[in-house]
Amino acid sequence: MGPSGSEYRRVPPIAVSSSSTLVNHTGSWKYIRPLFQDRVAPCNAGCPVGIDIEGYMNLLREGRVAEARDLLLRENPMPGVTGRVCHHPCEVSCNRESFDRAVAVHAVERMLGDLAMPEVPLPAPPARNQRVAIVGSGPAGLACAYHLAGLGYRVTVFEAATQPGGMLRLAIPEYRLPEAVLDREIERIRARGVEIICCVNVGDDLPWWSVRANYDAVFLAPGAHRDRALEVEGEQSRGVEPGLKFLEDVKRGNRPNLGRQVIVVGGGNTAIDCARTAVRMGADCLVLYRRTRAEMPAIPDEVEEAEREGVKFEFLAAPVAFESKRGRLKAVECVRMRLGPPDASGRRRPIPVDSDHFTLPADTVLTAVGEVTDLAAVPQDLERQDSALRVGAWGETSGVRVFAGGDVTDETRSVAHALGAGKRAAIGIDRYLRQAAGEPVEPDGLARLRYGGSGNVSITRWRGDDPIQRASPTNDVVRFEDLNPSHFQRAARRDDRRLHSETARSGFTEVNLGLTRDGALEEARRCFNCAVCNGCELCLIFCPDVAIARGTDGNRFDIALDYCKGCGVCAAECPRGGITMTRAGL
Amino acid sequence: MSQLMIADRVPREELMTSGHVACPGCAAPIAMRMVLKALGPKTIVVMPASCWSIIAGPWPQSSLKVPLYHAAFETGAATASGVRAALDMQGDTETTVLVWAGDGGTFDIGLQALSGAAERNENILYCCYDNEAYMNTGIQRSSATPWGAATSTTPAVQPQSTHKKDILAILAAHRIPYAATATVAHPVDLLEKVTKARAIRGTRFLHILAPCPPGWKFEDDETIELARMAVRAGVFPLVEVEHGEHWRFTAEGAREPVGPYLRKQGRFRHLGEEQVRQIQAEVDRRWNAMRRRVESSESDEDGSLAEGG
């Protein structure tokens, strides 16, 4: 019940407001304005495959698991494989590493890769008539095939071995990459319409001229399958075996007799694979490496697992002679090394200390000091550079319509780099074939396609069909200094589940079991979501002028420029560097 | 969860409008907006003279969607006591009476009225947004201005020579049911304290640090960062105290040195290393005093538990 008329008269005269301050367009005060601007996360820029990691992490944070998986599959045909065997440089570049520890991207990728997925995530565009032949079904060849099929081409892959997969099939041990996982990944690539023909040695069973004449383009990805020689006296003795040949032998189901003591020479992943495989066959194993642990090219996690399984290491040592007795290897004579100044690879060069020799007993030596390309297996008219095929930025060789990628070129030798090279060449081939068909193509669009300008290319950028709406995207990479870490809290990185090392060394069961689905989803929530808006609303809550509101029309936020005074608090407080202050448009 | 996902924790309703005339980057409207979000529309604001008297807009405008009563400088708590009495007579116990005063209207000019209201345990929520000087009239020093700061009445040649008044201890000495500190950089802490205060009857006091870009002389976009640094450096501990006895830290991060906080502000630019050390010593002294209050509250509580058990 309100006061009556006579009661009002008893209230002294007082000024009462009748309007709001909305009539004041205080936005006219500003000289700079905020702009929601998605940039590039360092993981994306650091990924040799060119995966939108930040994109799928953000989808996972929202619980959109299927969409995250599809986004991943756009760029990476075999996430189940890379989730297991990639050296994950994404984690090295992760901004969270400067805060507590990097996000376990590999485990999240693996979880997504392991989700059963019979469907083909990228809808195929209208089919194109051109046919592409791919030589070699390792990660480079299969990636090229997968992306070309996604672009509508008719693709045939020729594989010399009895089954597709290249090194993934032949050399990576079952305990790191179960064949069932590889089979499933290849099944999905086939489901895109890729034809894979095994037991065909192109250049032998099928002449090069016929392949080059019958296909509109050819992609060469035969890999590098020959062990580099040690060039040490006695290397031809019985008991000194190439490591790669040993791994292939074991994967075929053979169990060569190694004797009691095995010495592996080398420090890369092949060396560690050899050592752990030898341990599983009951041998005592010592890895001989001429540099120190810090310079080992092998994945550090693999080295640690090898140690847990009982593999011993002798660093700063190299073999100089193999001693045999009655045709059977008995010992390895070694020289002590010391580290000199850095060499071309940036690692310190090992120098022998001639006065310091020692002898180690050995029944078997496995050599794993790198693989070399067999250039006799590719057409002889293609230009070489050192011991590799010379290719341009798009994977083009000196031969017309012939592209190449992977270990046959001077690409870094990793599964991820091979997958990335295959994708680059797929875009190169698409570009070439479109050009040949008289369609307009950008003269040099490679930098635009590369994450951060220098990372690997994105097929989504090439196709121009990004399912994620991005706000004024730029190709700059967001560094830790661009973030506001005040808004992050420390959270422990989740470790992969692993078999107990005693169980692990007794067989070939997969050792690293990754994270559970829930564990991986939790790990994904550790992602800073660098450089993209994840709707945290800190900008909204800190705006002194109530000028930022939940967006309409699909925009995450609307900025009321009539009222924004341009103070920049939103940009300073954005945890992930997603807001830029600019004069543009004022 | 590793990130502050604030979106789900802040009420959506906006009770403050755009177009107010606070300076760019001002913390005072951020504080008002958050406090009103926690209190909701059933709120009457009583506002003694302060920056906010201007921010609320010239007649006939108002930047608040709740009733706002402008009061004379020294009368914030007294006016609110009257508003409360009027509401009580109408049987309205639901509406919160909020005093929104600056440091001048709280530490200096309004202290008598505030002390009287607190002594009577008036059922009001008194918020002091503290920008550490009379900013609206041209940055004159108040008893909330920290030692060493330059203001227009304590210029750099002869800066503020007294230490900031410990207003929270003064209010705690009245044994009011609830008193706390908060800042604009800690929105969840602020919202929780306002929500807690809203549910309590009697005099409740909230001391909110509100950095001022022109008065403290820092860049417009550093407002939140300055409030955060004040807490991290221990200059402005986040605490609450119930009935003047039970002190508790609500956030106790790593104590960082006070130097970087001071160096970010033009009002301290004239200070030499020795003076920074003096300020550090005073911050440490106050921090340790606060810690002792908190620790003795904890041991009291342990004791009473032991007796009860």
Ordered DSSP codes for A185-239 = HHHHHHHTT-EEE-S--BTTTB-HHHHHHHSSEEEE-----EEPP---BTTTSTT
Q: Looking at residue A123, what is its pLDDT?
A: 60
Nearest-CA neighbor of B216 among B17, B7, B27? B27
* Chain B residue numbers touching A15 (CB-CB < 8 A): 59-60
What value does the mean pLDDT take over residues B53-82? 96
Q: What is the pLDDT of residue B2?
A: 40
pLDDT at position B304 over 60? no
Query: Would you state the pLDDT for residue B27?
Result: 98
Element (H, E) at B98: strand B96-101
Residue from B1, B3, B8, B64 whose CB has the most chain A CBs within 10 Å, to mutate: B3
Number of H helices, E strands in chain B: 9, 9
Name chain B contacts of A30, Cβ cutoff 8 Å: 24
* A101-130 average pLDDT score: 82
The whole-chain average pLDDT of chain B stands at 94
Query: Would you call A535 and B63 a contact, using CB atoms and an 8 Å cutoff?
Result: no
A34 → chain B, closest CA residue: B221
Task: Compare CB distances from A525 to B2, B4, B29 and report the shortest one's residue.
Answer: B2
pLDDT value of position A234: 85
pLDDT at B309 over 50: no
Name every chain B residue with its beta carbon within 8 A of the beta carbon of A1.
none
The pLDDT value given to residue B307: 42
Does B65 contact chain A (CB < 8 Å)?
yes
Rounded CA separation B179/B241 (Å): 5
Contact A544 B223 (CB under 8 A): yes
Rounded to the nearest 10 degrees, the angle between the axes of helix A53-61 and helix A517-524 is 110
Alpha-carbon dihedral angle through residues A488, A522, A530, A469, given to the nearest 10 degrees: -130
In this structure, the dihedral spanned by the alpha carbons of residues A133, A134, A136 and A137, taken in order and rounded to 10 degrees, is -110
- Of the residues A28, A530, A540, A567, the best mutation for testing chain B's interface (the one with the most B CB atoms within 10 Å of its CB) is A567
Q: Does the beta carbon of B110 lie under 8 angstroms from any beta carbon of chain A?
A: no
Question: How confident is the model at residue A119, as a pLDDT?
Answer: 58
Closest CA–CA distance from residue A304 to any residue of chain B (Å): 28
- Across the range A192-206, mean pLDDT stands at 94
**Residue B90 forms contact with A (CB below 8 Å):** no
Which of A18, A22, A487 minimises the CB distance to B18?
Answer: A22
For residue B13, being part of any structural domain is answered with: yes
Q: pLDDT: is A354 or A218 the higher one?
A: A218
d(CA A59, CA B230): 36
- The half-sphere exposure of B224 on its side-chain side, counting CA atoms within 13 A, is 24
Determine which of A58, A546, A563, A579 to mutate to test the interface with B (most B C-beta atoms within 10 Å).
Answer: A546
Position B306 pLDDT exceeds 50: no
* Contact yes or no for A544 and B30 at CB 8 A: yes
Is position B112 within any domain?
A: yes
pLDDT in tens, B241-270: 999 999 999 987 668 999 999 999 999 999
Average pLDDT for chain A = 92
Residue of B nearest to A537 (CA): B7
Look up residue B107 and give its DSSP letter: I
Please tell me the number of Cα atoms within 13 Å of B107 on its side-chain side: 25
Q: Residue B108 domain-assigned? A: yes
Domain count, chain B: 1
Helix, strand, or coil (residue B214): helix
Name the closest residue on chain B to residue A534, using Cα atoms: B5
**pLDDT of residue A584 exceeding 60:** yes
Burial class (CB in 10 A: 0-12, 13-18, 19+), A226: middle
Q: Which residues of A touch B190 (CB under 8 A)?
A: none
Instruction: Give the span between the Cα atoms of B231 and B227, in whole angstroms.
Output: 7
Give the closest of B6, B20, B25 to A541, CB-based. B6
Task: Say which of A26, A547, A562 has its CB closest to residue B21.
Answer: A26
Note whether B14 contacts A: Cβ–Cβ < 8 A. yes
Query: In this structure, are residues B263 and B201 in contact, taking their beta carbons and an 8 Å threshold?
Result: no
Yes or no: say if B268 and B148 are a contact pair by the CB < 8 Å rule.
Answer: yes
Nearest to B224 among A490, A565, A573 (CB): A573
For residues B195 and A121, which has the higher predicted lDDT (pLDDT)? B195
B9 pLDDT band, cuts 50/70/90, is: confident
The answer to whether the CB of B6 falls within 8 A of the CB of B184 is no
Tokens of A331: 């010992």
When pLDDT is cut at 50, 70 and 90, the band that residue A534 belongs to is confident
Q: By three-state DSSP, how is residue A498 classified?
A: strand
CB A497 within 8 A of CB A523: no
Decide if B157 touches A, using CB distance below 8 A: no
Average pLDDT over residues A536-544: 94
Report residue B159 CA to chain centroid gap: 23
Mutation pick from A20, A534, A537, A580 vs chain B, by most beta carbons of B within 10 Å, is A20
Q: Give the whole-angstrom CA distance, residue A139 versus residue A78.
A: 8
Position B1 in a domain: no
Q: Which residues contact A487 (CB under 8 A, 6 or more apart)?
A: A536, A538, A573, A575, B3, B4
pLDDT, greater one: A183 or B307: A183
CB proximity B183 to A under 8 Å: no
pLDDT band at A165 (very low <50, low <70, confident <90, very high): very high
Residue A490 has pLDDT above 80, yes or no: yes
pLDDT in the model for residue B308: 39
Q: Would you call A486 and B228 a contact, using CB atoms and an 8 Å cutoff?
A: yes
Cβ contact, residue pair A17, B62, below 8 Å: yes
The answer to whether B222 faces chain A, any CB pair under 8 Å, is yes
More confident residue, A214 or A344: A214
User: Residue B153 corresponds to which amino acid?
Assistant: T
User: What radius of gyration, in Å, describes the C-alpha atoms of chain B?
Assistant: 19
State both tokens at A107.
């485990």
CB A105 within 8 A of CB A89: no
A17, A542, A563 member nearest B224 (Cβ) = A542
Residue bearing tokens 């230490």:
B163
CA distance A434 to A415: 29
With beta carbons under 8 A apart, name residues in chain B contacting A487. 3-4
Tokens 């104590």 belong to B255
Identify whether the C-beta of residue A178 lies closer than 8 Å to the C-beta of residue A165: no
Stretch A30-39: mean pLDDT: 94
Tally of CB atoms within 10 A around A203: 19
* CATH number (domain holding residue B185): 3.40.50.970
Domain span at B246? 6-308
Rounded Cα–Cα distance for residues B34 and B12 (Å) = 10
Amino acid identity for residue B254 in this structure: A
Percentage of the residues of chain A whose pLDDT score is greater than 70: 96
Task: For residue B204, count other CB atoms closer than 10 A to its CB.
Answer: 27
A20 closest CB neighbour out of B17, B185, B224: B17
Is the Cα dihedral A143, A149, A152, A153 positive or negative? positive
Q: Do B63 and A21 touch (CB under 8 A)?
A: yes
**Is the ipTM here above 0.90?**
yes
Q: Do B21 and A21 touch (CB under 8 A)?
A: yes
Q: How many residue pairs from chains A and B have C-beta atoms closer than 8 A?
A: 141
Q: List, for residues B118-168, the tens digit of each pLDDT value.
A: 999 999 999 999 999 999 999 999 999 999 999 999 999 999 999 999 999
Share of chain B above pLDDT 70, in %: 95
Residue type, A176: R
Beta-carbon contacts of residue B255 (< 8 Å; ≥ 6 apart) = B232, B233, B234, B287
Q: What are the strands of the beta sheet with B43-47, ordered from one edge?
A: B68-70, B43-47, B96-101, B125-130, B204-209, B178-183, B238-242, B246-251
The pLDDT tens digits of the residues spanning A445-465 come to 789 999 999 999 999 999 999
Gyration radius from chain A CA atoms: 29
Domains present along chain A, CATH in parentheses = 24-38+533-582 (3.30.70.20), 55-118+489-524 (no CATH), 131-224+373-441 (3.50.50.60), 228-370 (3.50.50.60)
Q: Give the start-end residues of each E strand in A64-192.
A: 131-135, 154-158
pLDDT(A177) > 80: yes
Which of A15, A537, A545 is nearest residue B6 as measured by Cβ atoms?
Answer: A537
- Does residue B59 fall inside a structural domain? yes
Contact B2 A488 (CB under 8 A): yes
Residues B110, B75 contacting (CB under 8 angstroms): yes
- pLDDT of A88 reads 94
The b/e string for A393-430 (b: 16+ C-beta within 10 A; e otherwise) is ebbbbebebbbbbbbbbebebbbbbbbbbbbbbbbbbb
- B208 vs B218: CA distance, rounded Å: 19
A555: phi then psi, degrees, rounded to nearest 5: -75, 140
Out of B7, B16, B33, the one facing A536 most closely (by C-beta) is: B7
Whether the Cβ atoms of residue A23 and residue B19 lie closer than 8 Å to each other: yes
Whether the per-residue pLDDT at B3 is higher than 70: the answer is no
Interface touch A489/B4, C-beta < 8 Å? yes
Query: What's the pLDDT tens digit per position in A120-139?
Result: 556 666 788 899 999 999 99
